[in-house]
Chains A and B, each alone.
Chain A
């Protein structure tokens, strides 16, 4: 048993160690790309914990991420709170919002959930801007910390590691098993005794928690927080694409998608700054029509063929 655990953990620990030394050997441009990639690794891996087994495309990442960034901004600028306090409050608030959204939508057919999350980031942004303009005064929100890019990178790495640990724990737990059964056949799931609504809500809250935590950690990168920037619907779609590109039926699938996509995206935004939306659309079409099970699915089919 111990040998199996070591065997399973070893590659993870090695990867973690390699990732941790990266800021020591690289800085500037590549560190900034690595930080962005680390952010997406944490986001899309936690997204896949819920959306992978249930097949429910959650587009709420932008909303939760935005809550993280905005709360850090308003807490530090308007209420003189420390970054650390706000980084603890933000995920709790996002988890509560995920609970409400989940309770309202996840009892019903999956389409309602997808639609509800589709405009969620934009809706929360409108609400937040309105409250900000009418009641708090439209002062700018500054996030001034001593963090360097490397600090943010390490924090994101820690979150990503926790997401992986949580993910492998969930996958081996009855909760994870319940989610897989729900994704196979929700009717059967109910009849074997699974509280399907709650199981989904709990996992959805987990993704909300991590998205807000990441949003809070990334906030110092912006220095100046505007609701328009942090509540980005585009972010939700990026996370979906990267996770699906890697494949969501394995815990490490999204990781495989994030790294090439972040690099490709960097190249695209530099070379075709006005066509990013077009490329985003083409990526979706590419995934749906050519690699519906992601890179991991592709590898596994190829491995299967080679064995035959």
Chain B
């Protein structure tokens, strides 16, 4: 695949919870080496969209196509093995495993599985890059919040994902941690990774995203570069409420 090719296509995606339509007829494409942002007010269906792509939730209708393969009917582990990795909205690390084992967990069952000494080396390198190298043999309860976030990111990266889903990865960081966090994602971007991120932090969206999809009440109301969508009248109305 070359840059600019569409790697992931979301087509007419709809998710209903009983009578509530959480995601309504949503379509967008993600291109290789692109950072795509999904933004919108609380409850607009962003995280639901992430959960649909990763398979945590089953869509009511529509299609999610990764490099020609329809992800919709697949369980989460098969989607993961096709190269989709994610972090969770509320950080989820494996509490009884060491830092290093947490990262190996991401590598061992992915589409490029690594195991044994090779996996350990690979995971160590990854931890070094995320500045967790000196903590790799510790239990995870010794980690600070941002280190836990880093570790979760390392686990996702360990699978060498085709598409990386970051669900509010920057949420809960203090201002100085936030700068570190944004710089880290910027690094990933310059490495040419394909990322979909759900985010509330506007600075991060402006500096990181190539394009954005704006959602409100489950529906896409705008799509384009961050500058374009953030000056869109409907987007401003959605954020500020009907006033």
For window 110-134 of A, CB contacts with B under 8 Å fall at none
For window 50-102 of B, CB contacts with A under 8 Å fall at 54-56, 75-77, 80-81, 85-86, 88, 92-97, 101
- Tell me if B105 counts as interface (CB < 8 A to partner A): yes
Assess the A193–B109 pair: CB atoms within 8 A.
yes
Partner pick for B106 among A174, A180, A192, CB 8 A cutoff:
A192
- Tell me if B159 counts as interface (CB < 8 A to partner A): yes
- Considering the chains assembled together, what is the distance between the CA atoms of A65 and B86 in angstroms? 43
- Tell me if A93 counts as interface (CB < 8 A to partner B): no
Assess the B77–A196 pair: CB atoms within 8 A.
yes
Residues from chain B with a CB closer than 8 A to the CB of A192 are 77, 80, 85, 105-106, 108-110, 155, 159
- Considering the chains assembled together, what is the distance between the CA atoms of A190 and B155 in angstroms? 13
- Tell me if A59 counts as interface (CB < 8 A to partner B): no
Assess the A195–B77 pair: CB atoms within 8 A.
yes
Assess the A185–B75 pair: CB atoms within 8 A.
no
- Tell me if B239 counts as interface (CB < 8 A to partner A): no
For window 110-124 of B, CB contacts with A under 8 Å fall at 110-111, 113, 115
- Tell me if A286 counts as interface (CB < 8 A to partner B): no
- Tell me if A156 counts as interface (CB < 8 A to partner B): no
For window 174-229 of A, CB contacts with B under 8 Å fall at 174, 177-178, 180-181, 183-185, 187-196
Interface secondary structure of B, over-half rule: loop
For window 19-41 of A, CB contacts with B under 8 Å fall at none
Assess the B115–A174 pair: CB atoms within 8 A.
yes
Assess the B86–A191 pair: CB atoms within 8 A.
yes
- Considering the chains assembled together, what is the distance between the CA atoms of A190 and B88 in angstroms? 13
- Min C-beta distance of B113 to chain A, whole Å: 8
Residues from chain B with a CB closer than 8 A to the CB of A180 are 96-97
- Min C-beta distance of B208 to chain A, whole Å: 23
Assess the A185–B76 pair: CB atoms within 8 A.
no
For window 158-180 of B, CB contacts with A under 8 Å fall at 159
Residues from chain A with a CB closer than 8 A to the CB of B105 are 177, 181, 188, 192
Interface secondary structure of A, over-half rule: helix
Assess the A193–B81 pair: CB atoms within 8 A.
yes
Q: Produce 1/0 per residue, B131-162, CB < 8 A to A.
A: 00000000000000000000000010001000
Number of contact residues on A: which range applies? 10 to 19
Residues from chain B with a CB closer than 8 A to the CB of A178 are 108-109
Partner pick for B80 among A177, A181, A191, CB 8 A cutoff:
A191
Number of contact residues on B: which range applies? 20 to 34
- Min C-beta distance of A198 to chain B, whole Å: 9
- Min C-beta distance of A283 to chain B, whole Å: 25
- Min C-beta distance of A186 to chain B, whole Å: 10
- Considering the chains assembled together, what is the distance between the CA atoms of A180 and B108 in angstroms? 13
Residues from chain A with a CB closer than 8 A to the CB of B108 are 174, 177-178, 192
- Considering the chains assembled together, what is the distance between the CA atoms of A191 and B85 in angstroms? 7
* Most chain B CB inside 10 Å of its own CB: which residue of A174, A178, A181, A194: A181
- Considering the chains assembled together, what is the distance between the CA atoms of A80 and B113 in angstroms? 50
- Min C-beta distance of B169 to chain A, whole Å: 15
Q: Produce 1/0 per residue, A256-278, CB < 8 A to B.
A: 00000000000000000000000
Assess the A193–B77 pair: CB atoms within 8 A.
yes
Assess the B97–A191 pair: CB atoms within 8 A.
no
Assess the A184–B96 pair: CB atoms within 8 A.
yes
Assess the B109–A174 pair: CB atoms within 8 A.
yes
- Considering the chains assembled together, what is the distance between the CA atoms of A183 and B56 in angstroms? 18
- Considering the chains assembled together, what is the distance between the CA atoms of A191 and B81 in angstroms? 9
Residues from chain A with a CB closer than 8 A to the CB of B86 are 191
- Min C-beta distance of A85 to chain B, whole Å: 39
Top 8 closest pairs, chain A to chain B, by CB: A193-B109, A193-B80, A184-B94, A190-B76, A193-B81, A194-B109, A195-B77, A193-B77
Interface residues of B (CB under 8 A from A): 54-56, 75-77, 80-81, 85-86, 88, 92-97, 101, 104-106, 108-111, 113, 115, 155, 159
18 pairs from A and B in contact (CB 8 Å cutoff): A174-B108, A174-B115, A181-B97, A184-B94, A184-B97, A187-B56, A188-B92, A190-B55, A190-B80, A191-B54, A191-B56, A191-B76, A191-B80, A192-B109, A192-B155, A193-B109, A193-B111, A195-B77
